[in-house]
Amino acid sequence: MLANTVNVTSVRGRDSCATLLLKGWCYIPDFIIKQQSKETIYEQIIFQIKLLIANGELKVGDILPSVRNLAKSLEVSTLSVQRAYTELKKDGIIESVEGKGYFVSESLNKSSLKDALLREVEDEAKRIIQIAKQNGVELTELQEIIKIFWEDI
């Protein structure tokens, strides 16, 4: 499900989120939560926030939606969002400012974040390749499937 627009406020004179729609409103692009995923909701949130940062859609100092607003827009529990934010904070990816909210960390090492995301992609690729091999899918068929999805997404 695609997230709705989330109301937040601009802090520290920066844009309120990755893409500013109206002053005080932000949007998390292509933020999709799959209820039937093998990954927990909070893991999906973590991955997607890391991806937005690695792709430059969220920048250092950008404010994230409040726990309550993000949970409401994604139709998930506030506990899931809070756990995701706690993990991201523990990893130094985001920071919190008392009474202001959560921000992309000023001390973020973007290259190490990109490396971590690539490792996650490699792990998923290995899993997909194993499934393909177990089911007799040829490499050329798998490449064609990937190409089709790559162009569609």
Per-residue pLDDT of the chain (153 residues; tens, 9 = 90+): 333 344 333 334 444 444 333 334 455 556 788 888 888 999 999 989 998 888 888 888 999 999 998 998 888 999 999 999 999 999 889 999 998 899 999 888 777 778 878 888 898 899 999 999 999 999 999 999 999 988 887
Neighbouring C-alpha atoms within 13 Å toward the C-beta of 103: 20
Asked if 16 and 27 count as a contact pair (C-beta separation under 8 A), the reply is no
pLDDT at 2: 35
CA-closest candidate to residue 105, choices 78, 85, 121, 120: 85
Q: Which pLDDT score is estimated for 107?
A: 85
What's the CATH code, domain 6-104? 1.10.10.10
Cβ(74)–Cβ(84) below 8 Å: no
Tell me what pLDDT residue 138 has. Answer: 94
Domain ranges of the chain: 6-104, 110-152
What's the half-sphere exposure (Cβ side, CA atoms, 13 Å) at 123?
A: 6
Task: Please tell me the predicted confidence (pLDDT) of residue 106.
Answer: 87
**What gap in Å lies between CA 138 and CA 7, rounded to an integer?**
48
